[in-house]
Structure formats: structure tokens, C-alpha cells
Amino acid sequence: MKEIQDNETLRILRERRSVRAYRPEQIRDEELQAVLEAGSYAPTAMGRQDPWIVAVQQPEMVAQLVRMNAAVMGVDTDPYYGAPTIVLVFAPKPEHGFNPVCDGALVLGNMMNAAHAIGLASCWINREREMFDTDEGRALMRRLGLPDGLIGIGSIALGYATQPPAAPRPRKEHYCRIVK
């Protein structure tokens, strides 16, 4: 059992935590490419690769996304916690895809785990569906070159953490069950 528990991939999965405070410096292009590639290898329904991944580093567009997400929340704080990179995930509307929300969620999960594996911090951010279901959101999707018929699934804040993440909380009792 120890050999299995010492597996690097399983260790990364146990150690990854959501980070909610980022340093302002931008991540390296090679790091971003590695995270995006990991997202592109997430399993998708029937192998269709329906999700679309868009990494935003342009400061003006990051500020627009911050403002849009904060408006959905009804706050004036930064829902992306100061991350210099925001990675958005879109997928076909449910009536046009096989399993778009689940596919997009797997893409986001792969990217967060990959980010942790290479020393980056990340946090899943919600409200992209509401953000991109507005006139401003649809205009931004066109500006990003995305096809019609997509919905926002979620995003990740991505960057370098200001401090190491907290230790994981103990897992709840009876989290998993085995039926033989």
C-alpha cells in the first residue's frame, strides 16, 4: 500500500489546494502551455473534445472579467483573487452537446492538478455561465473568436501563490464506500 500511496500523481492529487491570493507577476509561457495541454487531455463524452479553453493574460481583459464576475456576485472585490492569468472554459449548450458541463469540469480539474504539479497555484471560479449569458459576455465571446452556441462552464485563477497553501482538512468519515 505504501508504494501506491507514494505515487507522485496520487501525492499531487492529495496536496493540491485552492489558492486565494496571488503574486502580480505573470506566469511563464511554458507553464501556461503545460496547464492548457493538460486541460486538452481531459476525458470528454465520446472523445468529442467539445470544450473550448481560453487563457486571458491581457490586463484590460482580465480587469473586464473581474468586473463582470464581481457584478454577478454583487460585490466590488476581485473574484479571481488577483491572479494574473484567468483560464476560461466554455462548452456547447446542453441541447447541443453530449455532456458539456461534466466535460468542462474535467478540463478545469485537469488544469488545476497540472498547475499544482508544476508549482503554480489555482482556484476554480464560478459564475462564468451567468457572465457570458449577458450582452457584454456574448460580445466578449465573439471578440475571443468563439463560435455561437457555447456557455461558460467555469474558470481557474492561475498564478504564483503569495504563500504556501494550508494543509488539507481531514477527509470526512465514510467518504468512500466499497460494495463487493
pLDDT tens for each residue of 76-101? 999 999 999 999 999 999 887 689 99
pLDDT band at 6 (very low <50, low <70, confident <90, very high): confident
pLDDT band at 15 (very low <50, low <70, confident <90, very high): very high
The structural domains of the chain, with segments of one domain joined by +, span 29-159
- Inter-CA distances, 109 with 32, 76, 114, 161, Å: 15, 27, 9, 18
- Residue 64 predicted with pLDDT over 90: yes
Given this model, what pLDDT does residue 65 score?
98
- Inter-CA distances, 73 with 37, 80, 85, 125, 133, Å: 30, 12, 20, 11, 14
Share of the chain above pLDDT 70, in %: 99
**What pTM was estimated for this model as a whole?**
0.94
Query: How many C-beta atoms surround the C-beta of residue 67 within 10 A?
Result: 14
Which of the pair, 34 or 169, is modelled with greater confidence? Answer: 34
pLDDT band at 135 (very low <50, low <70, confident <90, very high): very high
Residue 110's nearest CA partner among 22, 176, 12 is 12
pLDDT band at 12 (very low <50, low <70, confident <90, very high): very high
> 32: alpha, beta or left, given left = phi > 0 and alpha = psi -120 to 50?
alpha
Q: Candidates 3.40.50.620, 3.40.50.720, 3.40.109.10, 3.90.1640.30; correct CATH number of 29-159?
A: 3.40.109.10
- In terms of C-beta density within 10 A (0-12 exposed, 13-18 middle, 19 or more buried), how is residue 164 classed? exposed
pLDDT band at 142 (very low <50, low <70, confident <90, very high): very high
